[in-house]
Amino acid sequence: MTTMPAIRHIGVFTSGGDSPGMNAAIRATVRQAALCGVQITGILGGYDGLVRANLRPLGPRDVSNIIQRGGTILRSARSEAFRTEEGRRQAFATMRQHGLDALVAIGGDGTFTGAHLFYQEHGVPVIGLPGTIDDDLAGTDHTIGFDTAVNTAVEAIDRIRDTASSHDRIFFVEVMGRDTGYIALASAVAAGAEFVLVPERPENIDDLVRSLGGADGRKSSSIVVVAEGDEEGGAFSISRKVKERMPEADIRVTVIGHIQRGGSPSVQDRLLASRLGVAAVDGLLAGEFDRMAGICCNKVVYTPFAEAIGKRKPLDNDLFRILHILAT
């Protein structure tokens, strides 16, 4: 019978792109660990901090007044060193040197890929928390930061709509989403856009032009939301193609960009991050290793990393249908 390792000291870090709510997750992890009598240490700069032993002890008071802050107090980075076997051996040596028994990794697909490999090679007990604005991980209804990013995009689009309607313009609004269109689709429906372009769903430029009323001039102003990774190109590229087919149209482009990553997290992201931070500690103490903690149907679930990173969550086709209905 395999004996479950005792968890007396947990390391917590954030990795990859930052997302609003990461600090709330750190706060919940630290305070639940303290309540359970478990020592906790913050690892600064993601996996690179583990390789370089850049650590700081954390207690309940160290995470006061951070739940409302965007970004991450532990800072985030991508680590080339950790991608190598030697780097991971050094990271494991850091854990042994400082008495770390387990890890809480807050991040997205790349973070979990590294955590899964670390567990396979060195048996490190680790739980991941889905901290990414992209919302593309299987095993959770939403990821930490997605709700804030969508709200930021929608607020910007609402403002752009005022200008578009005042000047009879077509605006192409580019939102983040290099590989996925979750932010684009959700913000398009919520902001009343006429069309959305996402990487997962090929769209024909001629279909877009017809939707914009290019043939009969039916619509004088429109909003088209574009995920930055769409197969037709970014918002500037697509707008040029549309302009060729609609030379009479007054077209403008706005790229929202990294504004979506920053700012105070929404209530939903604070709640999600707080629940998952507590769930991370609970899961480690219960032997839930090599897994991501998520929320499905309002229940905490633990999904193996291999499934969370190997099965990208599909876009909701019903939202495309709703967008088409509401844009007519």
Domain spans in the chain, listed from the N-terminal domain onward? 9-145+265-310, 148-261
Same fold, 9-145+265-310 and 148-261: yes
Q: Residue 212 pLDDT > 90, yes or no?
A: no
Tens of pLDDT, residues 161-183:
999 888 889 999 999 998 899 99
Catalytic residue among 18, 134, 136, 290: 134
With vertex at residue 288, the alpha carbon angle to CA 131 and CA 120, rounded to the nearest 5 degrees, is 85
Confidence of residue 220 (pLDDT cuts 50, 70, 90): low
Do 135 and 42 touch, CB atoms closer than 8 A?
no
Distance CA 246, CA 206 (A): 10
The CATH-assigned architecture of domain 148-261 is 3-Layer(aba) Sandwich (3.40)
pLDDT for position 104: 98
The highest-level CATH class for domain 9-145+265-310 is alpha beta
- Given the structure tokens 């995920």, which residue do they identify? 227
| Confidence check: pLDDT of 2 > 50 | no
What is the distance between the alpha carbons of residues 146 and 133, in angstroms, rounded to a whole number? 4
Q: What is the mean pLDDT of residues 227-237?
A: 87
Query: What's the pTM?
Result: 0.93
Predicted confidence (pLDDT) per residue in 67-96, tens digit: 999 999 999 988 899 999 999 999 999 999
Is 18 designated active site? no
**How far apart (Å, rounded) are the C-alpha atoms in residues 98 and 124?**
14
